Structure 1
């Protein structure tokens, strides 16, 4: 760890540093799973504490090279509250600030432009109940119509309305969004969202008649998920293993 990284670690609270490490890991895992879009999408996390401050990616840095110390701390208006040589993508924080301001439980907001996610977001029917992976998503999914690159402050109320209390939001013709109490929760939710879209695109490409899952099964999926995970939070259940994988393949995020 470089001396500058050590000085930042010593300058922030242990809770903020832990949030930085978790978010940096989330960025690198997003790249590892192939969901990044060069530098043109975003994951944000609230800094623990009374201030409404957030961490987001330094604009121009690739996801697989982001570190805890390189993340930019901003307020709800996207203004830097700690000096950084990097800027923040204004389109990115329009979406994130809207969700953070409206959802106290959404400590992490994750937004991707994955190929499969964008492909399904362009389909009129949206996500279909074609796979086991899709069922948990469909039980907590909203849709938001495309309004162009997210630069318009006036779009924020509609984003908030369309997300509602859901975990998942499909941004039509644009991509996917998940929220979570932690970066781990938002990432694992995104895994199932992306997997559902990938399976749908591949099933459609096969050309055969598709068999949707019946509504009564969808209605009972939340109870089934609780049984499978034994009541554990899926993010907490999977996260330690994801970090071990990241440590093997792309260490250094905690610097």
Structure 2
């Protein structure tokens, strides 16, 4: 059954479900303190529509995002749903490149949390000093800062520096995290945020301990044994949806 958006455009049941899941993600990020005024962005592909994805309306806080006010655009930046809202150009430049070229990049987020930006601004980047960091060692790409990401030609370098990874640390800037689903992207972001928080805290205490490559290998081999049912991040995401529903369920509208 199709759903009519506030702009008057109708969307499929599959798109509406994707809109609700992405709107929930915005509210969860905001609840966890991962928002940045009206800036930063989370996007997700529209099911069954080649080259179309959903992203936040530029000018709204994360706690104002709802399923119906998300903006549907294509990889050329064209508005596809009649939304009156613009899209952050930096968000479009990053996300369109990854959605266009990477099959696994169904959901993408870019954050500016204090801890992740601090690690992006440190010479060694993320280091194997804690449990969560060990999840990511050898699985992160790094991209040197070139200024605000609004020039399309930077997209080629973003893709090159990401390589076969699913997390790209923009040096002196902040991380970009990708997932095959919104819950997978969410749980990777949550674990990365925890890794950076702990690294920053540990650095304030003096000399820290690094985990050996051998133990990192064992950790990465075995970590899937601790996953809850439903696929990566599913149980976590559903739990946080229940939390935000108790606070404000307007994201569903």
* Normalised TM-score (structure 2): 0.94
Q: Measure how far apart 1:58 and its partner are.
A: 0.2
Q: 2:183 touches 2:237 (CA, 8 Å); kept in 1? A: yes
In structure 1, the residue matched to 2:147 is: 148
Q: Measure how far apart 1:44 and its partner are.
A: 0.6
Q: For 2:229 and 2:62, how far apart are their aligned partners in 1?
A: 32
Deviations 1:127-159 (A, max 9, x none): 010111111122421111111000111100111
Q: Measure how far apart 1:70 and its partner are.
A: 0.4
Q: 1:139 touches 1:218 (CA, 8 Å); kept in 2? A: no
Q: For 1:202 and 1:151, how far apart are their aligned partners in 2?
A: 33
Q: For 1:183 and 1:216, how far apart are their aligned partners in 2?
A: 31
In structure 2, the residue matched to 1:241 is: 239
In structure 2, the residue matched to 1:8 is: 5
Q: Measure how far apart 1:228 and its partner are.
A: 1.4
Q: Does 1:250 align with 2:248?
A: yes
Q: 1:226 touches 1:232 (CA, 8 Å); kept in 2? A: no
Q: Which runs of 5+ in 2 are unaligned?
A: none
Q: CA RMSD in A?
A: 1.7
Q: For 2:93 and 2:213, how far apart are their aligned partners in 1?
A: 35
Where in structure 2 are the equivalents of 1:68-107 lying within 5 Å? 68-107=67-106
Q: Measure how far apart 1:222 and its partner are.
A: 2.6
In structure 2, the residue matched to 1:175 is: 174
In structure 1, the residue matched to 2:52 is: 53
Q: Which runs of 5+ in 1 are unaligned?
A: 1-5
Q: For 1:80 and 1:179, how far apart are their aligned partners in 2?
A: 23
1:186–1:230: structure 2 CA closer, same or farther, 3 Å change rule? closer
In structure 2, the residue matched to 1:43 is: 42
Which stretch shows the higher mean deviation, 11-20 or 245-254? 245-254
In structure 1, the residue matched to 2:215 is: 217
Q: 2:98 touches 2:159 (CA, 8 Å); kept in 1? A: yes
Secondary structure of the structure 2 residue equivalent to 1:153: coil
Q: Measure how far apart 1:59 and its partner are.
A: 0.3
Q: 1:23 touches 1:68 (CA, 8 Å); kept in 2? A: yes
* Normalised TM-score (structure 1): 0.93
Where in structure 2 are the equivalents of 1:108-127 lying within 5 Å? 108-127=107-126
Where in structure 2 are the equivalents of 1:198-217 lying within 5 Å? 198-206=197-205, 208-217=206-215
Q: 1:122 touches 1:173 (CA, 8 Å); kept in 2? A: yes
Q: For 1:176 and 1:250, how far apart are their aligned partners in 2?
A: 28
Secondary structure of the structure 2 residue equivalent to 1:128: coil
Which stretch shows the higher mean deviation, 214-223 or 224-233? 224-233
Runs in 1 of length 4+ with deviation above 3 angstroms? none
Give the total of aligned pairs: 250
Q: 1:143 touches 1:163 (CA, 8 Å); kept in 2? A: yes
